[in-house]
Structure 1
Amino acid sequence: MIIGGITFLVALGSSFIRPRDVFWGMRLDRPRWLFFEPAIPLIWTVVFACGAFSACLVWQDDPGSSKTWLLMGFYLLVEVITVAYIPATLWFRSLKVGTVLGGLGVVLGVLLMLRVFPISELAALLLLPYVLWSPVGTYTTGQMIDLNPSAG
């Protein structure tokens, strides 16, 4: 319950955006192949739920140990970086900021998955949606830089 609650609270951080920033973001050109954009909030909800369940499995393996607490911090870091993507991109009006955060999230997500694998193969498998989906967002943001050079 606690892991799920923290995941939910951190995810709410993406709502710290100003209306004028949303207007800027909505005006950006997007790749033509981005037909699934309306499904992105649902996709991220599933990704975060899988991550929270993964963290629960890791916690249950060795609850309260310093190693487990460090891994919980790693999970939190990955989520915070991921959630920071939208507000930071909009606040700075820079798709490069989003691309950097997205790329950092990809690298950290892969490292977390590799670190978790020896503890629980299922926990690592539950991180696979993040490891597969986050590069899509990073790549899309990179493509948007090409379409919106002034927003780079």
Structure 2
Amino acid sequence: MIPSWLVIGGIGFLISLLINRIPPDDLRWFFRLRRPNWLTFEFAIPFIWIFIFVCLILSASITWDTDTNLMKKIILMIFYLSLEIVILAYTRVMCAMRSLMIGTLIGGGGFLIGLGLAILVFFTNKSALYLLIPYLLWSPIGTYVTWAMIPLNRDSI
């Protein structure tokens, strides 16, 4: 039998391949944006996201392996999937629309989905809940960074 973390991680990877196809013009727009002077940790952001995605995969796997009610498992996996899609849509949609405000709204929406998921997972498994904490801590920071970039890039609201 294939371990749940491998299946969930594989599905997550395939979805990221589908959503993260960002055209070069959109990436150039993103990299030309001005950032706040205090954003000295931008080099670490990809590593932070890798860690968060690993935590989300492990959390989903623990949740899947813990609960015996198939319908509850499916609902929780839909929440995990929705969260991944919103996280990945942040860069894709923000760059396509060339709008930092859209990015801020998507980031805030992702936090709300993550918070709702955490509340549901609270009743399933505490270890799975703890693995959601990195996302719940980072998401408001990433959303704030995007929001703080708006005044620096008035043409990209």
Residues 50-78 of structure 1: CA deviation (Å, up to 9, x unaligned) = 00100001101125601110100100000
* Whole-angstrom distance in 2 between the partners of 1:78 and 1:27: 27
Residues 53-108 of structure 1: CA deviation (Å, up to 9, x unaligned) = 00001101125601110100100000100000001111000011101100000111
> Does structure 1 residue 4 correspond to structure 2 residue 9?
yes
Runs of 4+ more than 4 Å apart:
none
* Whole-angstrom distance in 2 between the partners of 1:17 and 1:118: 37
Residues 91-142 of structure 1: CA deviation (Å, up to 9, x unaligned) = 0000111011000001111111111011101100000000001111100000
User: 110, 129, 134: which is aligned to 2:115?
Assistant: 110
* Whole-angstrom distance in 2 between the partners of 1:133 and 1:102: 10
Question: TM-score if structure 1 supplies the norm length?
Answer: 0.95
Q: Is the 8 A contact 2:108 2:140 kept in 1?
A: yes
* Whole-angstrom distance in 2 between the partners of 1:64 and 1:81: 26
> Does structure 1 residue 59 correspond to structure 2 residue 35?
no
**Which residue number corresponds to residue 30 of structure 1?**
35
**Which residue number corresponds to residue 137 of structure 1?**
142
Matched AA of 2:126:
E
Q: Is the 8 A contact 2:60 2:80 kept in 1?
A: yes
Task: Determine helix, strand or coil for the equivalent of 1:29.
Answer: coil
* Whole-angstrom distance in 2 between the partners of 1:93 and 1:78: 22
* Whole-angstrom distance in 2 between the partners of 1:107 and 1:49: 20
Task: Determine helix, strand or coil for the equivalent of 1:17.
Answer: coil
Alignment: residue pair count? 152
Query: Equivalent pairs: percent with the same residue?
Result: 45
> Does structure 1 residue 80 correspond to structure 2 residue 85?
yes
Q: Can you give the 5+ residue segments of structure 2 that lack an aligned partner in the other structure?
A: 1-5
Q: Is the 8 A contact 1:13 1:83 kept in 2?
A: no
Q: Is the 8 A contact 1:54 1:126 kept in 2?
A: yes
Task: Determine helix, strand or coil for the equivalent of 1:147.
Answer: coil
Q: Is the 8 A contact 2:26 2:96 kept in 1?
A: yes
Q: Can you give the 5+ residue segments of structure 1 that lack an aligned partner in the other structure?
A: none
